[in-house]
Amino acid sequence: MKLELSGITKTYEGQVVLDHVSVILDDIHAFVIIGPSGGGKTTLLRILAGLEYPDSGKVTIDGEEIQYHESWLRKYRKSIGMVFQSYNLFPHLSALRNITLPLELVHGMSRQDAEARAMELLERFQLKDHTYKKPIQLSGGQKQRVAIARAMAIKPKFLLLDEPTSALDPEFTSEVLDMIEELREEQKDLILVTHEMGFARQVADHVMFVAEGRVMEIGNAGEIFDAPKQGELKQFLDKVLKY
Partner 1 sequence: MAGLFISQEHHEHPKWSNLAWVLSAILVFIIISGIFIFAFSQLQYHFNWSAIYKYKAKFIHGWLMTIIISLFSLVLSLFIGFFFAVGQQSRFLPYRMISKVYIEIIRGTPLLVQILIFFYVIGSAFHLNNRYVAGILILSFFAGAYVSEIIRAGIESIGKTQLETAKSLGFTKRDTYRYIIIPQVLKRIMPPLAGQFVSLVKDSSLLSIISVSEFTLNAQEVNSYTYSTLESYIPLAIGYFILTFPISMLTRYLERKFHYET
Using CB under 8 A as the criterion, which residues of the chain lie in contact with partner 1 when the complex forms? Answer: 49-51, 74-75, 77-78, 82, 84, 86, 88, 90-92, 101-102, 105-106, 134, 136, 150, 154
Query: Between residues 41 and 150, which has the closer beta carbon with respect to partner 1?
Result: 150
Query: Between residues 60 and 86, which has the closer beta carbon with respect to partner 1?
Result: 86
Q: Rounded to the nearest 5°, which phi and psi values hold at 213? A: 75, 10
Amino acid symbol at 87: Y
Q: Shortest Cβ distance from residue 60 to partner 1 (Å)?
A: 20
DSSP 2: -
Distances (CA, A) of 172 to 19, 138, 143, 208: 35, 12, 10, 26
Q: Shortest Cβ distance from residue 217 to partner 1 (Å)?
A: 29
Measure the CA–CA gap between 171 and 169, rounded to whole angstroms: 5
Q: Shortest Cβ distance from residue 149 to partner 1 (Å)?
A: 13
Using a 10 angstrom Cβ sphere, with 0-12 exposed, 13-18 middle and 19 or more buried, the burial of residue 243 is exposed
Q: Shortest Cβ distance from residue 124 to partner 1 (Å)?
A: 20
Q: Shortest Cβ distance from residue 90 to partner 1 (Å)?
A: 6
Query: Between residues 51 and 218, which has the closer beta carbon with respect to partner 1?
Result: 51
Q: Shortest Cβ distance from residue 117 to partner 1 (Å)?
A: 15
Query: Between residues 23 and 101, which has the closer beta carbon with respect to partner 1?
Result: 101
Distances (CA, A) of 6 to 18, 22, 189, 233: 12, 4, 21, 22
**Which stretches of the chain are assigned E, i.e. beta strand?**
3-12, 15-25, 30-34, 56-61, 64-65, 81-83, 159-162, 190-193, 206-211, 214-219
Give percent helix, percent strand, percent coil of the chain, each to the nearest 5.
40, 25, 35
Q: Shortest Cβ distance from residue 139 to partner 1 (Å)?
A: 17
Helix/strand/coil for 235:
helix
